[in-house]
Chains A and B, each alone.
Chain A
């Protein structure tokens, strides 16, 4: 049976963070229930395409899934359980914001077999949180972690951002110290990307806010990595750190170029050799018009490129024998020119038939060599 992942997108937020360009809507409380009904319809509709699959991970992301009534999330998950084959040890994650989380809510999720929670902090400094228009402060976060633990979940992930306006190493260091102290087992430390059309982008463009330059951000990243590794967090992907056994199975599936199905507005899917994106129009989706956009059939070229791109982001690296098996070729021969150059430059190495990046901060440049 084919192993797949399922992603559910909840495109609602209490407020829009100034750096965010994800599809999410604010002030839409009236549509929550309708949206859940549409989701359920889409999930049921697609189930017949997935007869011979087994679901290894489910990830409810957003937006802010925790903004919905806890019963709604449970409802959605139960529909999935009823219509798909679910692995007994499936990883089931819900994303949450510190301000919309209560013990009761988490308890209901746990009853619906949720076993992992990803909670966005981004930064410890309340000033910085306010600047980014985050709807919570650090205390909200701390309380949320306690409630999650009380409800019996230990597999907790927290997102932090590197390269925020006015950020100094001191700020990041403090944030990390708190996370270590709170025994958060998984940390995603993402470099900030200034996305055009976000508020932050305009603030930086106009000179109102300044963000650290690339050199600084890289230094922050390297220090972050060093510090987390020293404290028992294994960097298993460029931006992801986990205590042993707490890696995100859902994300690992992405990076292994595994198949996944996305439900909800603007959710992506990769299934049966096709990539597609769901409609980004909420009104269309609420009318149960499940339009697929940007449908792209994989070719040998794109498949290879994606495989390499994703594998080289991981610390384990690219499994050469797996590549050879999938693409019926000899990786080392196919890329002998590139490998020679990169190994000579001391930017990659081959260890036990795995190709690993040494200079991780220029991974993209290395990936490009194979395109």
Chain B
């Protein structure tokens, strides 16, 4: 190890949601003078508007800070991590770029599901873990209990964990000191062939795809010919630099450094997270371990409300894809909705983020069909088909059997909600693997449960059943055989393919009834009666009717009403343009997603 690396610390902060990760990051940036507090628009690292609104971090921004300890200047590279289960792989790559991880635990709430999941991820990546007890200013704070929980549940020493309040700025210095003392310095070889880990990338309109990297070995500078070892593509470096948190170009990045590389890379999908960058003329022998092709697990149809906007939707998806290699989309045609796309997402949050960005940033009115998973359909002729769109399911007679994806799920909860959670998981076809009392106040429950059962409203149901006390984390396990059927919905006698769902046989009736009832409530009254029927294999299992509009004109219409009434009707007409005609029935664009909100 040389002197330069001795004074570098690369670390990340992991925490359960709302335990104060972004706030601590802000405080560190502030305390090191990287940025004045007046420049901090609270939580600078969460830069996307959407993220700020939701209080979650999706995109990572690594920040280089300088800190002086005992007359020696240290470089601290903070790599933020996304705090949501949809982005586990991204988190793991960010962790791989560090030597240490700050594990924040809320002094009042203790260890939660994501605390544990993140701690394990950090341990998997051989990181030194520094527990930090946050929110000690709150009346409910019990730092000693939180420390004990860390030791008992995670099994790492926590007696010397700094006790802080990120919000009030209490004891922030002790965290900075501990970072330097506890976390090892990087130990790369500057003279070895270049090895950089891409832990994130984003698209810049002028510079192309920007790779956020951790240099493990070697050096990289402008003009170097680089190669992506997994992707196999080569580029010439046009810029290297680091973030403060705004990008700042520099001459060279060397072993131990965290920074960015720009190389006129056209698409973000050319710069896979987890790939290794090496020097094309002096390549490394082996790529860094841990690379994985990220695959979408949740799928839904996305259609323009106005069919003529298909090309605009296509352009928008293309632009989003530039910045989001996890987003997947294929053209799709629906009888009911016309031309659109079947999109694949990492999870529900990812899906919602994309939908909102399409609407907000691209000003598109879109219809999203119910999200589903990808099924493996084994046909009688011995072939296997992956089906994510219910419309593509072969006829029952041709199906030998079907498999659906399962996840392993950890739930942390106070014991009084145990029964209610078991009930919920059972309803959702979950199988209990383990129930473990961590202490008298907390239970860890492990379930194996079909992904399809939790993708929509499981989290909301869990929250409402446990008054928000339970936390949840999951990872994909494997595919299992399952008895599944296709549930169709008919409006005014016609099957609406955009409303079809694949559901478990045992729940099909109940589901069909609930959806028909829900549709009755979301479809506005029309000029004529609209029958709604739910069918399985042509057999009608539920029926509802949307009555015809009855009254809307019986009021007085005197002189002063004329312009007012005209404007009212104009407005109503405008609202109708947001509806989609399915055959002769006008359906609001959110009907397709609302059918899943039944519990």
Contact = CB atoms under 8 A, between A and B. Distances in A.
A270 B559 contact: yes
Interface stretch (B129-137, B365-373, B564-572): B564-572
Nearest to B548: A362
A246 interface: no
Contacts of B559: 5, 7, 254, 260, 262, 268-270
B555 interface: yes
Interface in B558-593: 558-560, 562-563, 565-566, 569-570, 572-573, 576
A275 B527 contact: no
B556 to A, nearest CB: 5
A191 interface: yes
Interface string A189-202: 11111000000000
B554 interface: yes
B551 interface: yes
Interface string B541-560: 00000011111111111111
B528 interface: yes
Contacts of A313: 553, 557
A294 B567 CA distance: 13
Greatest chain A CB density within 10 A among B547, B548, B559, B572 is at B559
Interface residues of A, number: 52
A193 B560 contact: no
B550 A214 contact: yes
A363 interface: yes
A251 interface: yes
Contacts of A188: 556
A180 interface: no
A239 B558 CA distance: 11
Given A306-B566, A364-B569, A162 B552 contact: no
A255 B572 CA distance: 21
B86 to A, nearest CB: 41
Nearest to A221: B554
Contacts of B553: 191, 238, 313, 360-364
A5 B559 CA distance: 10
B549 A365 contact: yes
A190 B550 contact: no
Given A190-B554, A262-B560, A270-B562, A345 B576 contact: no
Contact of B572 (A5, A251, A368): A368
B527 A371 contact: no
Interface in A130-163: 162-163
Contact of A365 (B552, B554, B555, B556): B552
B570 A239 contact: no
A244 to B, nearest CB: 22
A310 B555 contact: no
Contacts of B527: 345, 347, 359, 362, 365-366
A319 interface: no
A294 B563 CA distance: 10
B556 A305 contact: no
A71 interface: no
A312 to B, nearest CB: 9
B562 A238 contact: no
B554 A191 contact: yes
A360 B554 CA distance: 9
Contact of B576 (A190, A214, A362, A368): A368
A90 interface: no
Contact of B554 (A162, A215, A277, A371): A162
Nearest to A366: B527
Nearest to A296: B563
Contacts of A277: 560
Contacts of B548: 362
Given A305-B569, A371-B569, A363 B563 contact: no
Interface in B520-555: 527-528, 547-555
A64 interface: no
Interface string A261-278: 010001111100001010
Contacts of B555: 190-193, 239
A370 to B, nearest CB: 9
Contacts of B549: 361-362, 365
Contacts of B550: 214-215, 217-218, 361-362
Contacts of A164: none
A302 interface: yes
A367 interface: yes
Contacts of A239: 554-557
A313 B566 CA distance: 13
A254 B554 contact: no
A309 interface: yes
Interface in A151-186: 162-163
Interface string B386-412: 000000000000000000000000000
Interface in A213-250: 214-215, 217-218, 221, 237-239
A169 to B, nearest CB: 15
Nearest to A359: B527
A162 B550 CA distance: 14
Contacts of A190: 554-556
Contacts of A365: 527, 549, 552
B562 A310 contact: yes
Contacts of A254: 557-559, 562
A192 B548 CA distance: 20
Given A255-B557, A345-B527, A217 B563 contact: no
Contacts of A189: 554
Contacts of B570: 305, 371
A227 to B, nearest CB: 15
A262 to B, nearest CB: 7
Nearest to B557: A313
A90 B409 CA distance: 82
Given A262-B559, A268-B559, A313-B557, A363 B566 contact: no
A275 B551 contact: no
B566 to A, nearest CB: 5
Contacts of A7: 559
Given A190-B556, A254-B558, A347-B527, A214 B551 contact: yes
A310 B576 CA distance: 21
Interface string A75-113: 000000000000000000000000000000000000000
B551 A345 contact: no
A369 B550 CA distance: 17
A32 to B, nearest CB: 22
B545 to A, nearest CB: 13
A192 B555 CA distance: 6
B554 A309 contact: no
Given A262-B560, A268-B560, A365-B527, A217 B572 contact: no
Contacts of A193: 555
Contacts of B557: 237-239, 254-255, 310, 313
B364 to A, nearest CB: 24
Contacts of B565: 309
B559 to A, nearest CB: 5
Interface in B412-457: none
Contact of B552 (A266, A294, A362): A362
A251 B558 contact: yes
B597 to A, nearest CB: 25
Interface of B: 527-528, 547-560, 562-563, 565-566, 569-570, 572-573, 576
10 contacts: A215-B547, A239-B554, A254-B562, A277-B560, A305-B569, A345-B528, A361-B553, A361-B554, A362-B527, A365-B549
Given A221-B554, A361-B551, A365-B527, 14 more contacts: A162-B554, A191-B551, A191-B553, A192-B555, A215-B547, A217-B550, A251-B558, A255-B557, A305-B569, A359-B527, A362-B550, A362-B552, A364-B569, A367-B569
**A-B pairs with the 8 shortest C-beta distances?**
A191-B554, A268-B560, A218-B550, A363-B553, A364-B552, A218-B551, A371-B573, A193-B555
